[in-house]
Amino acid sequence: MTDSDDTSAALAGFDAASNRLIIDLGALADNWRTMDKLSGTARAAAILKANAYGIGIEPAAETLYAAGARDFFVANAEEGAELRPLVPDGRIYILAGMWPGNEHLFFDNGLVPIINSEEQLAFFMSALSERGDHPCVLHVDTGMNRLGLSMKEALMLANDPARPASFSPILVMSHLACADDQAHPLNRRQLESFRAVTAAFEGVESSLANSAGIHLGSEYHFDMTRPGIAVYGGEAVNGAPNMMKPVVTSEARILQIRDVRTGDTASYGASAQFARDSRVAIVAIGYADGYHRSVSGGGVALRQATPSGAYGFLHGHKVAHLGRVTMDLSLFDVTDLPVNAARPGDYIELFGENIAIDDVARAGGTIGYEMLTSLGQRYDRAYIEAE
């Protein structure tokens, strides 16, 4: 079979898919360049953990590398080993650090462990005694109370005259807890604490800002920023317009159109109730595809806090979700579309160009990160290549 035949077959499969994703790699590259520019004199890294936020580590890595990224963060050493051949001269940082039994992945693939605790530091130094010098990053907790050495531990380490010469971190980092709320006082407290750490490790590069942190201003940028969700098109700052381009569009096929009468009900628990004669589109998308049950139009506890569920987009109109999201199917109200405008076989947009992923996430009481990283395996994927 020729390359042309392969492409034709792939397109035919995409056109026939029950649900599908359109992933705009050009938008991904543009978003990274935007965050890199906003980082000022700091350079922006690329975050590729969780299969590149669900869009696929290989196309995302190749795109961001071509856009200019040379620093890459992933969650664990297994992700790092998968990433290595895609960014041959890139520096790959492992957020979970090094543990007994996986040290060979770091040395064999040139991965940089992030030291998150005194225990990890002790093991890393032990590994160096057997393997020789290797770069590392020191992670200091400045107020999130998640991973990282405490401030006291970090400052003692910096001032320890017995500190081995072989321990020479190439980067000191911390992570902001509340940067999405620009007025939160913890942002300033973390900045002041991090400045104390960087002063103690004079001459070592430093990194503090995530996507939201970049928007806090240049004093938060240091030498490297670490934009994540913004690069993938999601909102970074609460209450602010999202300037990023949407990267992922999710679509699902309408399997059937049903006519229902006033007083009828639909879905589990009779959770959709009709006050007028209506037309309902039954759509091939469910929680098995990462379209969370909590975005349902009715019949779940969360609707007590959020009156309406998610919306889809079809033929220029927003259409409301009805009843409960089930494993494989969802219902949407297409009554207000012109007669015969919605037909079996049409695709409805679940999020993307017309329905912001964060709006869907809010309807389900969650965030865009979770929507992206929950994308199921049943989607057929098409990538729009970056120029």
Q: Which residues are catalytic?
A: 49, 268
CB atoms inside a 10 Å sphere around CB 126: 12
Q: Are 61 and 91 in contact (CB under 8 A)?
A: no
Query: Is 242 in contact with 356 (CB distance < 8 Å)?
Result: yes
Distance CA 211, CA 233 (A): 11
Q: CA 113, CA 124: separation in Å to the nearest integer?
A: 9
**Pairing of β 347-351 and β 380-384:** unpaired
3-state secondary structure of 224: strand
CB atoms inside a 10 Å sphere around CB 335: 18
Nearest CA to 194 among 170, 221, 167, 168?
Answer: 221
Tokens of 269: 């628990």
On the CB side of 385, how many CA atoms lie within 13 Å of its CA? 3
